[in-house]
Structure 1
Amino acid sequence: MSATRVFVARLAGCTVFDPAGDRLGKVRDVLVVYRKSDPPRVVGLIVEIPGRRHVFVSIGRVTSISSGQIITTGLINVRRFEQRGGEVRVIAEMLGRTVVFADGTGQATVEDVAIEEHGPGEWAIVQLFVRRPKTSASLFAKGATVYASWNDVREKTSLGQPQSAEQLIATYSELKPADLASTLLDLPQARMLEVAEELSDDRLADVLEEMPESEQVEILAQLDDDRAADVLDQMQPDDAADLIAQLSEERGEHLLELMQPEEADDVRMLLAYAPDTAGGLMTTEPIIVSADATVAEGLALIRRHELAPALGAAICVTLPPYEPPTGRFLGVVHFQRMLRYPPHERLGTILDQGLEPVTADTSAAVVSRILASYNLVSVPVVDDNHRLVGVVTIDDVLDYLLPDDWRSNDSDPDTPRVPDRTLSRAQAIAPRLTTRGRRTSYGRS
């Protein structure tokens, strides 16, 4: 392999292939160890394989890094990653660090790190891309960026000061919420909490929805009450209800009081249902229109970028009011059916007459069978007065059927689950514990 210099931040998300061209996973970080006098040595890559499991790939197994892809020998141990003492993750732990120039010209923040091959399977850090503090008083001004060799700087550590996570967040900005959640779960606990605190409210809400409940509670405990309430406002009501149910009754009620009244009302309603019922699984934010709405109007509503695909699969038609609990539920119109009619067609004339709603106390098992039997991705939920109160989507049912720790890197995808939820959300206060991923010493020198 010819000598190559690569900036680590550009490796994030790069696909890893075996010699036959089969995809093995994606790079999530680069692992280095510090040396007494020489620049840090690269020991391997942290690679995410299918199932969102993070594994260690020794740098000696890498045969090529070029054009945004990495080729390995194909010999990868799939045991879970565990960071050892003395090892440092470049993206998660080095980016954002403050360094001081050895010549006394000031300090800068590390924005990227270049690694270079010095021999077969021998890689080391050779250069840093750093940004000096801004010199202008303007809020929009940025400091100058410069390249510096490892020996030209030294790291500045201030006891008690958290390391900035801004650069890490920028590096992972393109990750989907589920992938970002998986990446955060694999970070050291202190770093995970630090990064979570610096995420925007809506981004943190999306990530929390993809995390195990114990980590959700842990992160929420680090936020002040006002910030925690803002994040809960951004979450889907059913996910927010699940999270609040894991908190102490006192803090849960306090956060509900701080939330936006409309969001809090939805969450309170969901908390009243047992989790193993349609009411406990449903979301209270389906698309709801009148019978006079047209196909054109319906299609415009499901085109919204922020709408989850399962919620956009069908539109609910009711009498006024059009917020849950609505007026009398009339039926649903599936988006494929709308595509078969002219734009001016009234939705009330093309309702699915064969789909019956379920009641809020219908068991989760029955809801699952209905979705499977009729090849649906959602089913409407009504109260005793036949008013629409929400819809259960297929992802909510999968959340219920999968093992409680399926979001954790330690969960076993082959372990089936026998549902056993008899308490209401309000009673389920104690968080379920999960463990973090572990890795063996395979591939270490």
Structure 2
Amino acid sequence: MSSSLNKVFIARLLGLDVFDPLGDRLGRLRDVVVLDRGPTKPAQCVGLVVEVPGKKRVFVPMTRVQALEASQIICSGLVNLRRFQQRGAERLAAAELFDRRVTFKDGSGNGVVEDIGLERLRNGDWMISDYYVRRGEAGGFRALRRMARGERLLVACDEVVHGDLEEPQAATQFVAAHEELKPADFAEALHEMSDKRRLEVAIELQDDRLADVLQELPDDEQVQILSSLDMERAADVLEEMDPDDAADLLAELSEEQQEALLGLMEPGEAKDVRRLLEYEENTAGSMMTPVPIILSPEATVAEALAYVRREELSPALAGSVYVCRPPLETPTGRYLGVVHIQALLRCPPPEPLGNILDTDLEPVHDFADVSEVARILAAYNLTSLPVVNTAGRLVGAVTVDDVLDHMLPDDWRTHDEDPVAKGATRG
């Protein structure tokens, strides 16, 4: 083997910006692709997974990497914009090799991979040279997680043997390395994984984080992950989801599963979800959130602004305050009108909301079709609409992102329309 010209560790590279030779940013490094060449040869690094604008993850071969350092990554040539897909014996270092069990060849026990060293040879090839390993005892998935307290050491790749790919694998390192990702981007990473690895990573997430990520996944993967959890935890995760998303997910399950999970949820949370499940698909009622900002006409601008500042609100929901007669929980008393956030910002804090109502915006009925809702949102440049029942009581609000989720094709998260990518090859 030729002597080394360069060495880097993968964990330090993740999240770095990737540039072209002129200094223009191409995207951000999300993973490293290595080729398994069998038990007697070190794995070869064949490329990078780069997240380009538009949140698409593409493959950049190592033949186009001019600099791979802990402080910068520079690539040359055109980037193939076809969405990355694994092939054959390719492995994703962060997603599949971090947290994998290894056995020391000297008989001193087992460990878990926390980082991987890459070494550049004189011929330009990049190979796995070292593993940064957390030592511990073997004994299944729970034991792997207990290794966190073990000794850490750097070992050459030929000093350890990997466990079988079907063995349970923790996901501590992957989750920690990707904690800054927005839920939609984390969901994209999960979507690209094998079924086994997707479940292992999902199980590692906290309930609120898992709920946010689940809402961004295709329906079949949502069902797969929820079904892998024990019933108590599945109910906890559903409680953390937006009620409309929880209802959409439960609608994919059998009636027996729905009832079992709803019975384990907090009564108030379950009540909102049950109401949404009663509506026919593709109606305003089926896609609305039953918990928008609702205040009385006597409430002040200052109170309304305090509500819209809440961190958990989406921008679409935070843009409007719905004013109703008591009770103020859906279904409310008579719906009176809406106050837009621009009006709140223009008026003095003591002003009652009843004095600044927009009564020209007609609410939609809960049985209105999604196409009608989309037409109104587009016609009046709105981000949300009030939804009322036949008695004129507010039952929720439907947002533009809710409508897009229902109108876009099922595979919109992974659909690739880029003509440049068609017919392209890796290399």
TM-score normalized by the length of structure 2: 0.89
- For the 8 Å contact 1:289–1:316, the answer to whether it is kept is yes
From 274, 284, 299, give the equivalent of 1:293: 299
Cα drift, residue 393 of structure 1: 0.5
Alignment-mate amino acid for residue 159 of structure 2:
D
Distance in 2 between residues matched to 1:13 and 1:70, nearest whole Å: 11
Amino acid paired to 1:117:
R
Question: Equivalences for 1:194-343 in 2 at 5 Å?
Answer: 194-343=200-349
Deviation at 1:80, TM superposition (A): 3.4
**Shift of residue 129 of structure 1?**
2.0
- The aligned counterpart of 1:76 is 79
Counterpart selection for 1:28 from 10, 27, 30: 30
Out of 13-22 and 317-326, give the one that drifted further. 13-22
In structure 1, what is the equivalent of residue 132 of structure 2? Answer: 129
Provide the C-alpha distance between the structure 2 equivalents of 1:384 and 1:414, rounded to a whole number of angstroms. 46
Task: Report what 2:184 is aligned to.
Answer: 178
Residue type at the aligned position of 2:82: R
Q: 2:98 aligns with which of 75, 95, 107?
A: 95
Query: What is the rounded CA distance, in whole Å, between the counterparts of 1:340 and 1:90 in structure 2?
Result: 52
Shift of 1:68: 4.4
Are the equivalent residues in 1 in contact too, given 2:294–2:329 (CA < 8 A)? yes
**Which structure would you say has the larger RCO, counting Cα contacts within 8 Å and 6 or more residues apart?**
1
The RMSD of aligned alpha carbons is 2.6
Q: Counterpart of 1:26 in 2: which secondary structure? A: strand
SS of 2:396 mapped into structure 1:
strand
| Alignment counterpart, residue 42 of structure 2, candidates 39, 44, 57 | 39
Distance in 1, Cα, partners of 2:325 & 2:211 = 32
Task: Measure how far apart 1:336 and its partner are.
Answer: 1.6
Mapped to 1, the partners of 2:259 and 2:220 lie a distance apart of 19
When residues 57 and 160 of structure 1 are mapped into structure 2, their CA distance, relative to the original with a 3 A threshold, is closer
Contact map agreement 2:135 2:147 (CA 8 A) in 1: no
**CA shift in 2, pair 1:27/1:273, >3 Å:** same
Q: String of CA shifts for 1:117-156, please: whole Å, max 9, x gaps.
A: 223631122222222349xxxx998333332232333334
Q: 1:10 aligns with which of 7, 12, 27?
A: 12
Do residues 390 (structure 1) and 377 (structure 2) align? no
Which residue of structure 2 aligns with residue 347 of structure 1? 353
Give structure 2 stretches of 5+ with no counterpart: 138-145
Residue 6 and residue 162 in structure 1: after superposition, are their counterparts in 2 closer, same or farther (change >3 A)? Answer: same
Q: CA deviation at 1:191?
A: 0.8
1:402–1:87 CA distance, 2 compared to 1 (3 A):
same
- 1:413 deviation in Å? 5.2
Which protein has the bigger helix share? Answer: 2
Aligned positions, number: 414
TM, length-normalised to structure 1:
0.86
Counterparts of 2:335 and 2:12, CA distance in 1:
51
Kept in 2, the 8 Å contact 1:79–1:439? The answer is no
Shift of 1:286: 0.4
Q: Deviations over 1:192-247 (max 9, x none)?
A: 12211222221111111101111112222222222222111111111111111111
Structure 2 letter corresponding to 1:33: L
1: CA distance, partners of 2:358 / 2:72? 48
2: CA distance, partners of 1:244 / 1:395 = 19
Supply the distance in 1 between the matched residues of 2:298 and 2:418 (Cα, whole angstroms): 48
Measure the CA separation in 1 of the matches of 2:113 and 2:313: 37
Q: Aligned equivalents of 2:238 and 2:392: distance in 1?
A: 29
Contact 1:19–1:74, Cα closer than 8 Å, also in 2? no
The 8 Å contact of residues 54 and 186 in structure 1, kept in 2 or not, is answered as no
Gaps spanning 5+ residues in structure 1: where? 416-437
SS in 1 for 2:302: helix
Which residue identity lines up with residue 343 of structure 1 in the other structure? P
Aligned-residue identity in percent: 54
Deviation at 1:60, TM superposition (A): 1.0
Distance in 2 separating the partners of 1:323 and 1:329: 12
Relative to structure 1, is the Cα distance of residues 141 and 103 closer, same or farther in structure 2, using a 3 angstrom cutoff? Answer: closer
Q: Is the 8 A contact 2:301 2:351 kept in 1?
A: yes
Give how far 1:67 is off.
Answer: 5.8
Task: Flag the 1:34–1:330 CA change in 2: closer, same or farther, 3 A.
Answer: same
